[in-house]
Amino acid sequence: MKRSDLFPTPLWEEEDCGVDLQSLVDFCYHVKREDPEGRRASNGGGGWQSSDFRCPFLLTTPLKELHDRIIQQAYMSMDDWGFSAYSLHMSNMWININNKKNFNYTHTHPGSLLSGVFYAKVPECCCGDLRIIKDLHEQNLKEAGMVNQNLERWENPANSDEHFVTPKEDKLAIFPAWLAHSVDPSSSCLLYTSDAADERSSVALGGRRIIK
């Protein structure tokens, strides 16, 4: 019997984006030194998060190269998604730096079409994955039908409740902004120090993507 997967949810991943990682990482730590307190948002599980960077100021910083690369990939993603006669605008970007045991709470980005993350610096192992979560209503329907236990025995992409994106330096992930997502705790090393080598730096993109 032929199976059709209805209403699939896209996730786009691009490895080896080719941006200047050292310049980007240096800028991330420069921003943290200038504002060591940062802000509290989805990073309520620890870690540091910068304030938003917005255009046109964003384009005067070392984030410009990454901005341009993301916009390029976002257009490719939207074309692949079936959109036409549109234009995109990135309204904001921000920086996350997570240490051991830091995590980001589940959240979405209302008013957006696309969201995503770019990994600028990643420890050698045991870094917290990006966790993308199926709509809770659909999860509850599966449980209400009393079939959840059987499905979990044979977990596969057709019935899974979560999908994980493993961080990798110079990797970009883009997905619909209304998808709930979180960042798992990092356990990058047994003998942890606060040295930058044991931290993870990422640049998140949220905010509005305007279609005209």
The pLDDT tens digits of the residues spanning 13-45 come to 999 999 999 999 999 999 999 999 999 887 777
Query: Cα(197)–Cα(199) distance, rounded to whole angstroms?
Result: 6
pLDDT mean over 138-148:
64
Residue ranges of E strands in 16-103? 48-49, 92-98
Q: Given a cut of 80, is residue 142 above it in pLDDT?
A: no
Angle at 34 (CA atoms; ends 28, 37), nearest 5 degrees: 90
Distance between alpha carbon 131 and the CA centroid of its chain, in Å?
9
Distance between alpha carbon 70 and the CA centroid of its chain, in Å?
12
Distance set, CA 93 to CA 5, 53, 71, 123, 195 (Å): 33, 5, 12, 22, 25
Confidence of residue 208 (pLDDT cuts 50, 70, 90): very low
Across the chain, what does the average pLDDT equal? 81
Decide if 86 contacts 56 (C-beta within 8 A).
Answer: no
| 125: DSSP letter | S
pLDDT mean over 123-139:
83
Residue ranges of E strands in the chain? 12-14, 48-49, 92-98, 104-107, 114-121, 130-133, 162-165, 171-176, 180-183, 200-206
Q: Given a cut of 70, is residue 199 above it in pLDDT?
A: no
Confidence of residue 50 (pLDDT cuts 50, 70, 90): very high
Q: What is the pLDDT of residue 203?
A: 60
Listing DSSP states for 62-77 in one string gives TTHHHHHHHHHHHHHH
Decide if 204 contacts 173 (C-beta within 8 A).
Answer: no
pTM: 0.85
Query: What percent of the chain stands above pLDDT 90?
Result: 45
Q: What is the pLDDT of residue 73?
A: 94
Q: What is the pLDDT of residue 156?
A: 72
Q: What are 64-74's pLDDT values in tens digits?
A: 999 999 999 99
Q: Given a cut of 80, is residue 132 above it in pLDDT?
A: yes
Q: Which one has a higher pLDDT value, 23 or 199? A: 23
Q: What is the pLDDT of residue 40?
A: 85
Q: Given a cut of 80, is residue 206 above it in pLDDT?
A: no
Rg value, the chain, Cα: 18
Q: What is the pLDDT of residue 200?
A: 53
Q: What is the pLDDT of residue 98?
A: 86
Q: What is the pLDDT of residue 197?
A: 40
Q: Given a cut of 70, is residue 201 above it in pLDDT?
A: no
